[in-house]
Amino acid sequence: MFNSKSGVKAMITRMIKLGKTRLVFNPYGGKMAEIPHRKGKLFKIQYTVNWVDPSPCAAKNFTNQARKLYSYMAPFVS
């Protein structure tokens, strides 16, 4: 799904719907592929969310956003 334009669009739509979630893709390959535990991996995905409200309610809300994005992506990553 995520190797197509429609798949990427679906992922971005989900991120917008959730709120402040972001993804960072770290490409692997080249010299990185020479490291045994990274061999065969195309990239690493970091799931992030940032906020300034110090309340526990905000922390719970934004942490849940990141968890929902992670769950959404689970079928498409190893």
Closest CA to 58 of 32, 77, 78, 66: 66
pLDDT at residue 2 tops 80: no
Q: What average pLDDT does this structure show over 51-77?
A: 94
pLDDT-based confidence at 3, cuts 50/70/90? Answer: low
pTM for the model stands at 0.78
Query: pLDDT tens-digit profile of 20-52?
Result: 999 999 888 888 888 888 888 888 899 999 999
Question: 73 near 45, Cβ under 8 Å?
Answer: yes
Q: Output the DSSP codes for 44-55.
A: EEEEEE-----S
